[in-house]
C-alpha cells in the first residue's frame, strides 16, 4: 500500500511535508522504507507539546484552548503550518491519543487527521476523525497507514475543487 502512495506522489509531482504528533514520525518512517521515496518528502515535524505545535507550526493557543489538542481544528492548523514553512505542495497532520487511556473525555485511539494540498493559487484542506484499537505501536501504525492511504483520494477531491 505504501508503495502505491509513493507511486501516486511521483505521478502527480507531489512533495510531502508531515506534521505528526501521536504517530511520532511513523508516516515518514513508512515512506522511508520504499526505495526512491526520499525525493518525495520535503520535511517531517514531530510535535508533541502544545508549545512545539505553536512555535514550529503556528497552531494558535486559542485553537488548542477552545478545541483541545485532539481536534480537527488543531490538525488543520498543523497541516497548514507545515505547508507554510516548506516548499511542499501537500501536508499531512496527525494529532490524537495512541495510548490506552481516555483523556479529557476523548476515547483512547482517537486520531484527528488533516490533509492540505496546494492546487494552483488555492489550498484545499480535508479533516477527519477516526478511532483505532490495539496497543500503542499498533495504533500508531494504523493511523500512519490511514494518513497515507487516504492521501490520493483527498488529492483527487482537491483537484476537483472540493475542500472539507
- pLDDT tens-digit series, residues 86-113: 999 999 999 999 988 889 899 999 999 9
| Confidence class for position 163, pLDDT limits 50, 70, 90 | confident
pLDDT tier for residue 162 given thresholds of 50, 70 and 90: confident
pLDDT at residue number 121: 87
Residue 101 carries which DSSP code?
A: S
Q: Whole-model pTM? A: 0.96
Would you say how long the chain is, in residues? 164
- Grid-cell match 478545541, residue found: 67
| C-alpha cell at position 39 | 525525493
The distance from CA 145 to its chain's CA centroid, rounded to whole angstroms, is 11
pLDDT in tens, 8-57: 999 999 999 999 999 999 999 999 999 999 999 999 999 999 999 999 99
Query: Domain segments of the chain: what residues?
Result: 2-159
Contact 22/101 with Cβ under 8 angstroms? no
* Ranges of H-type helices in the chain: 2-11, 26-32, 50-57, 61-67, 72-84, 136-159
Q: Does 2-159 carry CATH code 3.90.950.20?
A: yes
Is 154:128 a contact under the CB 8 Å cutoff? no
CA torsion through residues 42, 48, 127, 83, sign: negative
Which whole-number Å values give the CA distances from 100 to 25, 93, 96, 121, 133, in the listed order? 19, 21, 12, 42, 9
Amino acid at each position: 500500500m505504501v508503495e502505491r502512495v509513493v507511486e501516486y506522489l511521483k505521478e502527480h509531482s507531489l512533495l510531502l511535508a508531515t506534521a505528526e504528533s501521536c504517530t511520532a514520525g511513523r508516516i515518514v518512517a513508512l515512506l522511508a522504507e520504499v526505495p526512491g521515496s526520499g525525493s518525495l518528502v520535503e520535511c517531517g515535524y514531530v510535535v508533541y507539546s502544545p508549545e512545539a505545535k505553536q512555535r514550529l507550526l503556528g497552531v494558535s493557543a486559542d485553537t488548542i484552548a477552545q478545541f483541545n489538542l485532539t481536534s480537527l481544528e488543531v490538525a488543520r492548523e498543523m497541516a497548514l503550518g507545515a505547508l507554510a514553512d516548506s516548499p511542499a505542495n501537500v501536508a499531512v497532520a496527525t494529532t490524537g491519543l495512541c495510548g490506552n487511556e481516555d483523556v479529557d473525555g476523548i476515547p483512547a485511539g482517537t486520531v484527528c487527521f488533516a490533509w492540505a494540498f496546494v492546487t494552483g493559487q488555492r489550498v484545499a484542506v480535508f479533516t477527519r476523525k477516526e478511532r483505532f484499537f490495539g496497543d500503542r505501536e499498533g495504533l500508531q501504525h494504523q493511523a500512519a497507514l490511514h494518513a497515507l492511504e487516504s492521501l490520493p483520494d483527498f488529492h483527487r477531491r482537491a483537484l476537483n475543487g472540493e475542500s472539507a
